[in-house]
């Protein structure tokens, strides 16, 4: 096989807001591209309520994911539902290795997003999917009428709380600091809910149970307490999915470092969205970064040709 002649102009890894937008812009430029992803929509489809995406005063994550799919369907390019295991540099080309095969590209955009951060306490791994969950949208209905807790203090944690107030018997919000970091609109909604209890300056020590979660052990003001909850929703942020590429510059948080053109320190390799060091992990920001990455990749190829 002649790798140079069989290589794509562009390979986009990931199909969240950044990858989807990059795909649309690249397709409009008539680039020969392939998009490789495990799902279309990314973390967006896990959001229950989105009120800050331009053009939609209110839309659910599932609905926005459907809109993304509809927009993608208007353009012709290869879409592969595969998991990328590794990205390598081979001469002037890039080699993307999945569990199914390999793909060669002249340029690559890494738009792999982030994954939920773990508590790393005893019992978390043992009770994962048996009471410990990282997605209130996905698993909330399983805890109808039960006592649950949410760990975290940002927007994702408060969104989870608000979802669970309509499902669970009671919701305990556990936060290690004295103040919440979430937007005030979320905090105010949670405070008026009669089945929410706030636990500040609280540290999770252990998750306990038998076959399923039966409680969570916490420490507050030097004293330990066992809360009898049946569900533990972990919402303490996320870490970048950047481990597929080892030859690019990253910061201490393992985010891929990019400039304002979404260029990395490796010529021909671009990155966009939540996997990068760009601040503010928001849907609209990721979409804009995807646009810039695609245009930068197109310009890079045009200058070389």
Q: Does residue 11 contact residue 22 with C-beta atoms inside 8 Å?
A: no
Domains of the chain: 3-116+238-304 (3.50.50.60), 132-234 (3.50.50.60)
Rounded CA-CA distance 282/1 in Å is 41
Distance CA 257, CA 76 (A): 30
Each of the 305 residues of the chain gets a pLDDT tens digit; together they read: 556 667 999 999 999 999 999 999 999 999 999 999 999 988 887 776 788 888 888 888 889 988 988 998 888 889 999 999 999 998 889 999 999 999 999 999 999 999 999 999 999 999 998 999 998 988 899 999 999 999 999 999 999 999 999 999 999 999 999 999 999 999 999 999 999 999 999 999 999 999 999 999 999 988 999 999 999 999 998 899 999 999 999 999 999 999 999 999 999 999 999 999 999 888 999 999 999 999 999 999 999 87
129 dihedral zone (left: phi>0; alpha: psi -120 to 50; beta): left
pLDDT, residue 121, reads 97
3-state secondary structure of 64: helix
Q: What does the pLDDT read at residue 272?
A: 98
User: What is d(CA 246, CA 136) in angstroms, rounded to the nearest whole number?
Assistant: 33
Give me the DSSP letters along 138-166.
Answer: HHGGGGTTSEEEEE--SHHHHHHHHHHHT
| pTM attached to this predicted model | 0.82
What pLDDT sits at residue 2? 56
The residues assigned a catalytic role are: 135, 138-139
Residue 205: name the closest of 187, 224, 192 by CA.
224
């Amino acid at each position: 096989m002649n790798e140079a002649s069989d290589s794509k102009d562009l390979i986009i890894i990931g199909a969240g807001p950044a990858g989807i937008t990059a795909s649309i812009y690249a397709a409009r430029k008539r680039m020969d591209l392939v998009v490789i992803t495990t799902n279309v929509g990314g973390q967006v489809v896990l959001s229950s309520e989105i009120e800050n995406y331009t053009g939609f005063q209110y839309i659910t994550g599932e609905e926005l994911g459907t809109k993304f799919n509809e927009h993608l369907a208007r353009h012709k390019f290869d879409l592969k539902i595969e998991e990328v295991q590794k990205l390598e540099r081979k001469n002037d080309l890039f080699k993307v290795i999945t569990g199914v095969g390999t793909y060669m590209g002249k340029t690559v955009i890494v738009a792999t997003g982030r994954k939920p951060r773990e508590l790393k306490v005893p019992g978390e791994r043992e009770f994962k999917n048996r009471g410990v969950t990282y997605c209130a949208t996905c698993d909330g209905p399983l805890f109808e009428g039960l006592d649950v807790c949410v760990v975290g203090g940002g927007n994702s944690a408060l969104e989870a709380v608000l979802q669970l107030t309509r499902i669970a018997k009671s919701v305990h919000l556990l936060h290690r600091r004295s103040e919440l970091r979430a937007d005030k609109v979320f905090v105010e909604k949670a405070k008026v809910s009669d089945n929410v209890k706030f636990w500040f300056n609280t540290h999770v020590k252990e998750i306990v149970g038998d076959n399923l979660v039966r409680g969570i052990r916490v420490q507050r003001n030097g004293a330990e307490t066992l809360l009898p909850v049946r569900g533990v929703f972990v919402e303490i942020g996320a870490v970048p999915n950047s481990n597929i590429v080892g030859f690019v510059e990253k910061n201490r948080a393992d985010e891929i470092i990019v400039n304002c053109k979404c260029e990395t320190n490796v010529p021909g390799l671009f990155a966009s969205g939540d996997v990068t060091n760009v601040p503010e992990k928001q849907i609209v920001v990721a979409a804009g970064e995807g646009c810039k990455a695609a245009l930068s990749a197109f310009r890079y190829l045009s200058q070389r040709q």
